Amino acid sequence: MKIIDVKTFPIYHGHRNYTFVKVETDAGFYGIGEFGLTWKEQAGIGAIEHMKNHLIGLNPLNIEWIWQLLFRGDFFPGGRINTAALSAIDIALWDIKGKVLGQPVHVLLGGTMREKVACYKSIGGETPEDTANSARLRIEDGWNFLRLSVKDRNGILEPGLAVYDAIDHFIAVREAVGRNVELCIDFHTRLDTPDSIRLSRALEPYNPFFIEDPLRCENPQTYRQFRQHVSAPLAVGEHYSTKWEFRQMIEEELLDYARIDLCIVGGITEARKIANWCETHYIKIVPHNPLGPVSAAACLHLDLACDNFAVQEAGIIGEPVLQDLFPVQVPFENGYLLPPELPGLGIEFDETIAQENYSFEWQTGPQLRRLDGSFTNW
């Protein structure tokens, strides 16, 4: 069996783009992957087209060999664009392998460690009361894990105001839902170290399940200082593109939850290695999943197979998104993903619908400013 084609499908739907990759074989099996860098879709498609030249004629079951080829084969190690492109291809290859063997991917990864996978859903509102009401509605729908975010004010992110707003919203939700619902908060790397420390310490009495991405990713050593001041659990890693970028955070135990993004870090192959490494340090995984049905499926299979899983970011899970394009998606019920029974990823992709009903629309991410007009992180 050999790879005969690699196709990309940039899809605009709702308010954003998704980029799906289809790997086809001469035996009639195909696999679906997803590129993970939102707002960099065109760069990713270029990287995938380059990798396609390496892939044609190869045996798709040799996943590790192909991973090493695509990561190391052109001498210069790839950055996030390359590893996100590699991720999409790797996920598609696991989909093919499962279909060839007639087994779900999680069985190939060792089998199920749990009967269902707990997910968390994002909440928010203009006022603390709005956010609290959003939480109540999610709980009525069966969600037991919820996440808030540090918010801007109409494109302005002034750190002091953002800190106090986040405190007010978090307290309002905690008072509304009580102790039986786990609450997380995503800082989105929007604050510098002093403000992140200030906000984290203010939230600690309200028992956050974790604080996510309090600092930017370029300098992991900054987390040494952060750890000295903050006792709340930390979730970090969605920006990291290989196990090497996770190395310091894991080895120095600077995080409690690893936010592995399977569509950026190098696919299922690399994510499993990082998850196993985390297990040796009693670090749990909380996979990042802001994308589409393929990302959700890949995350689910990893979650099912890993002992050190904590909770899964829901993203679009539980919502009617791209159902014409993916008529079969992974099963979900009352805040939990359930093990798929179909082979491979357990999803189906309609290429005709992709070509006839969808197109790409260029976008850029939010670009926030401070009150003085200076640029700040999103």
Domains within the chain, CATH numbers bracketed = 3-103+353-357 (3.30.390.10), 107-344 (3.20.20.120)
Number of other residues whose CB lies within 10 A of the CB of residue 244: 9
Residue 101 falls in which region: left (phi positive, over 0), alpha (psi -120 to 50) or beta: alpha
Alpha carbon separation from 87 to 221, 222, 242, 267 (Å, rounded): 26, 28, 10, 4
CA–CA–CA angle 20, 22, 23 (5° rounding): 145
Alpha carbon separation from 77 to 71, 83, 86, 274 (Å, rounded): 6, 9, 12, 18
Return the closest-CA partner of residue 170 out of 202, 217, 143: 202
Measured in degrees and rounded to the nearest 5, phi and psi for residue 204 equal: -55, -40
Non-local (6+) Cβ contacts of 194 within 8 A are none
Sign of torsion over alpha carbons 125, 129, 131, 135: negative
Sign of torsion over alpha carbons 154, 360, 93, 43: negative
288 is catalytic: yes
Rg (CA), the chain: 20
Active-site position among 13, 106, 281, 288: 288
Non-local (6+) Cβ contacts of 280 within 8 A are none
**Distance (Å, rounded) from C-alpha 122 to C-alpha 147?**
5
Active-site position among 13, 106, 169, 188: 188
50 is catalytic: no
Instruction: State the DSSP string of 177-233.
Output: HTTSSEEEEE-TT-S-HHHHHHHHHHHGGG--SEEE--S-SS-TTHHHHHHHH--S-
Instruction: State the DSSP string of 295-334.
Output: HHHHHHHHHHH-TTB--EE-TTTTS--STTT-SB---EET
Interaxial angle between packed helices 293-305 and 267-279, expressed in degrees from 0 to 180 and rounded to the nearest 10? 40
Spans of the chain below 50 pLDDT: none
pLDDT of residue 366: 85
Cβ contact 59:51 at 8 Å: no
Non-local (6+) Cβ contacts of 195 within 8 A are 159, 160, 162, 163
The tokens of 237 are what?
């890693």
Cβ contact 238:259 at 8 Å: yes
